[in-house]
Amino acid sequence: MKNAKIKQVLINILFIVLAFTVQNCVFPLLPFLSVTPNLLLILTFSFGFIHGKNAGMFYGVLSGLMLDLFYSGPFGFYTLIYVYIGYVNGIFTKYYYEDYIILPLILSIVNELCYSFYIYLFRFLIRGRLDLPYYFWTIILPETIFTAVTTLLVYRLFLSASRRVKDIGKRRDKHLV
């Protein structure tokens, strides 16, 4: 059982690295995308929602540190919001059902809105840029919609991978007994 948990953690870390790479290196090269889905946010809230508060915070730290290392600014800026997102979504673990997609979709929208307003508050509002309606209509709303649509695909992919690793661990445990 411990082997399956380690394998699950390694696969989840691989998902985070892959999502980070796609989000920051591939999506910006696509000229038809004016905004990009926040894949790290989707994975962080998914890990928290499926595996609980501690796992959500752990993967939130990993995602946030990757962004903090990649972008300039105060160190820990992204880590803070991702840890909170992982923790808060971990609270909803008790409502987790594998085939239930409505709650993850709602959580995706709420998380993206919280994340976007956090960025607005500490990156724009503090510097005197007060045009919230413009920021909302041109950045927050399109990114929220795009992230919600992407959540439908990425969440299912992540759920399928989690099931497979769990099934492999159960089969391996049966063979050992």
Contacts of 173 (CB under 8 A, 6+ apart): 1, 4
Higher pLDDT residue, 31 or 53? 53
pLDDT tens per residue, range 35-49: 888 999 999 998 898
Residue ranges making up the domain that contains 154: 2-172
Model confidence pLDDT, tens digit, residues 134-164: 989 998 999 999 999 999 888 888 888 777 8
Sign of the CA dihedral running 89, 93, 97, 98: positive
Say what percent of the chain tops pLDDT 70: 93
Domain count, the chain: 1
Q: Is residue 19 part of a domain?
A: yes
Q: Which domain CATH number covers 96?
A: 1.10.1760
User: Cα–Cα distance between 177 and 173 in angstroms, integer?
Assistant: 6
* Domain-located, residue 131: yes
Can you give the C-alpha Rg of the chain in angstroms?
Answer: 17
**141 in a structural domain:** yes
Task: Kindly state whether residue 140 falls inside one of the protein's structural domains.
Answer: yes
Confirm whether 177 is domain-assigned: no
